[in-house]
């Protein structure tokens, strides 16, 4: 039986991953932010050493994209330095590391899905700090899984926000010039476990997003429709009309050739996943 350690276990993805592993009867330890300081080298080495052998999945991250613009050193501590310490500990112990990253390492100027080996060029502080973490993980033989537009039952996310707004009245303005892939944390958790245990999957970079593509506006309309609310209440706006401290890539669609090369199925279409997730999403908001 594989032994698992999940860091960031209190977050949206970490919660789903730990739950999935426990449902499967796996030996898993989930550590939330208060359980382990990932910048405490001695504590990290001790936690990883207790595995003996197994898999560490790092779901811990600074995810406040806008706040990182004025707190980049603090974000870098979590997204970069902590990953370096964890990756080094895993390499020393002979433990496999899977590190979760982001599409924000790309600049968003593409027009077709980014392959795993496409040159990176982050346009904001969050993306730069996540890229530092990627490089640390890869330098120590780890695996990086980039994801995007996560939603799930556990934690704040765009889907929950739209469900609450749909319950009110009036129009809702949503950006229509950013393309991406809404990704269900439950689907990603299943792919992470498959990747970690597949003998045909070498270390490297994989893109862990649901397939297809849509704008935030189109995504919001789908949510309104599932609720039985009028999708016409969703009004498209440009990013310029909705300025944020951190610039967002306009195109964040990721390709999935890495899964195919490793003999694994890519994740299903985002719309199919959203429909499957729907009962848990609405229950969490009610």
Position 284 scores a pLDDT of: 81
Q: Is the residue at 264 inside a domain?
A: yes
Task: Classify the phi-psi angles of 244: left when phi > 0, otherwise alpha if psi is within -120 to 50, otherwise beta.
Answer: beta
**Are the C-beta atoms of residues 115 and 240 closer than 8 Å to each other?**
no
235 located within any domain: no
At 277, list the tokens. Answer: 């997730």
Beta-carbon-side half-sphere exposure of residue 256 (alpha carbons within 13 Å): 20
Residue 286 lies in a domain: no
Say which CATH number the domain at 27 has.
Answer: 3.40.50.720
123 located within any domain: yes
Q: What is the pLDDT of residue 233?
A: 98
C-alpha torsion sign, points 214, 216, 218, 223: positive
C-alpha dihedral sign at 17, 23, 26, 27: positive
The total number of structural domains in the chain stands at 1
* Burial call 198-207: b when 16+ CB within 10 Å, e when fewer: eeebeeebbb
CA 239, CA 252: separation in Å to the nearest integer? Answer: 14
What local confidence, expressed as pLDDT, does residue 110 receive?
95
DSSP class per residue in 200-232? T--SSEEE---BS-EEHHHHHHHHHHHHT--GG
From 126, 151, 217, 219, active-site residue: 126
Question: What tens-digit pLDDT sequence spans the chain (286 residues)?
Answer: 689 999 999 999 999 999 999 999 999 999 999 999 999 999 999 999 998 889 999 999 999 999 999 999 999 999 999 999 999 999 999 999 999 999 999 999 999 999 999 999 999 999 999 999 999 999 999 999 999 999 999 989 999 999 999 998 899 999 999 999 999 999 999 999 999 999 889 999 999 999 999 999 999 999 999 999 999 999 999 999 989 999 999 999 999 999 999 999 999 999 999 999 999 999 887 7
Is the full-model pTM beyond 0.95?
yes
- Gap between the Cα atoms of 176 and 254, Å rounded: 18
Contacts of 252 (CB under 8 A, 6+ apart): 103, 104, 106, 108, 148, 149, 178, 179, 180, 181
pLDDT at position 1 is: 67
Supply the pLDDT for residue 3. Answer: 94
Q: Among this protein's residues, is 242 annotated catalytic?
A: no
Asked whether 254 and 113 are in contact (CB, 8 A), the reply is: yes
Q: What pLDDT is attached to residue 53?
A: 83
Q: What's the domain range around 134?
A: 3-156+183-211+253-268
Name the CA dihedral angle for 212, 162, 145, 22, rounded to a multiple of 10 degrees. Answer: -120
What is the H or E stretch that residue 126 is in?
helix 125-139
């Amino acid at each position: 039986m594989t032994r698992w350690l999940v860091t960031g276990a209190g977050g949206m993805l970490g919660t789903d991953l730990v739950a999935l592993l426990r449902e499967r009867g796996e030996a898993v330890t989930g550590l939330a932010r208060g359980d382990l300081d990932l910048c405490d080298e001695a504590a990290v080495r001790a936690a990883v050493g207790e595995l003996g052998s197994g898999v560490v999945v790092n779901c811990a991250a600074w995810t406040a994209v806008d706040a990182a613009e004025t707190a980049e050193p603090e974000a870098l501590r979590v997204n970069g330095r902590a990953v370096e310490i964890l990756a080094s500990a895993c390499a020393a112990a002979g433990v496999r590391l899977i590190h979760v990253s982001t599409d924000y390492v790309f600049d968003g100027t593409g027009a077709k899905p980014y392959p795993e080996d496409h040159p990176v060029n982050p346009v904001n502080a969050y993306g730069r700090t996540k890229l530092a973490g990627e490089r640390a993980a890869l330098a120590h033989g780890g695996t990086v899984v980039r994801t995007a537009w996560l939603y799930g039952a556990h934690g704040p996310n765009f889907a929950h926000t739209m469900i609450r707004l749909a319950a009110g009245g009036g129009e809702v303005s949503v950006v229509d010039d950013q393309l991406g892939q809404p990704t269900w944390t439950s689907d990603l958790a299943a792919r992470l476990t498959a990747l970690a245990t597949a003998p045909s999957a070498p270390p490297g970079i994989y893109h862990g997003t649901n397939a297809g593509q849509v704008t935030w506006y189109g995504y919001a309309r789908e949510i309104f429709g599932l609720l039985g609310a009028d999708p016409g209440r969703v009004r498209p706006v440009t990013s310029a009309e909705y300025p944020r401290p951190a610039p967002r890539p306009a195109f964040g669609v990721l390709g999935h050739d890495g899964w195919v090369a490793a003999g694994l199925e890519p994740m299903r279409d985002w719309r199919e996943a959203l429909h499957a997730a729907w009962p848990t999403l609405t229950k969490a908001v009610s």
